[in-house]
Amino acid sequence: MHRRRRTALTVSAALLAAAPLLAACGSQAHPGAAAVVGGDRITVSTVQAQVADVRQAQGSSAQAAQLTDQSGQLARAKLHGLILDRVLDRASADAGVTVTRAEIQQMRKTAVAQYQGEKGLQAAVLQERWLAPGQIDAFLREQIQLTKLAQALGADPSTPEGTKAMGEALTKASEALKVDVNPRFGKWNDQQIQLADYKAPWITQVTKPAQSAAEAGA
């Protein structure tokens, strides 16, 4: 995969690889739900819509075949991200952390400049994070939440102690939300903050906004 410098854009739940778009399904307890988080349903159709947006963006790329091949488990990756968003929201609320629209816009402006334009940014996150253009702002919000949560906890995620503090806060939030995942997608692990069998070493990648990481990659 092509490597490039990255900004706080790389601070995230790393995306996995390999599973087709799932047909509508649901458990008997939650028909049509891919997961239930904090009593709220994440529908299979919501996951499918996110997958479809990414596939459409990939299909418009000159690297369409390569991008599609590298993102086989896209449905699971998207569900993982949707669950993580809610866990982060809960952990952020517990820590008194908020994110403003202005902060998201500023981070996007910075990212656009570093990737030499909006098209460069879109191409980078499509390849590295399996994100369609319409999913970028939500991703940036997640990055800001992670950074501000670490600050609120007085945690430096580059250290074992900081990683532990972040993990404990997110595990507490995850357990409180009682995440229930449709078996077709896997099982949520409160301790690892990810779907079982889904490698997402994102917590070790948390950095400050001004800090650049060396390489990209899931």
> Tens digit of pLDDT for each residue in 24-45?
333 445 678 999 999 999 999 9
- What local confidence, expressed as pLDDT, does residue 198 receive? 54
Q: What is the pTM (predicted TM-score) of this model? A: 0.77
Residue 185 near residue 197, CB atoms below 8 Å: no
| Contact in structure between 149 and 169 (CB atoms under 8 Å) | yes
**All domains in the chain, ordered by first residue:** 24-205 (1.10.4030)
Grade residue 21 by pLDDT with cuts at 50, 70 and 90: very low
Distance CA 181, CA 188 (A): 6
Residue with tokens 């990055």: 143
> What's the mean per-residue pLDDT of the chain?
80
Average pLDDT of 192-197? Answer: 82
High-pLDDT (> 70) share of the chain, %: 76
One-letter amino acid of 25: C
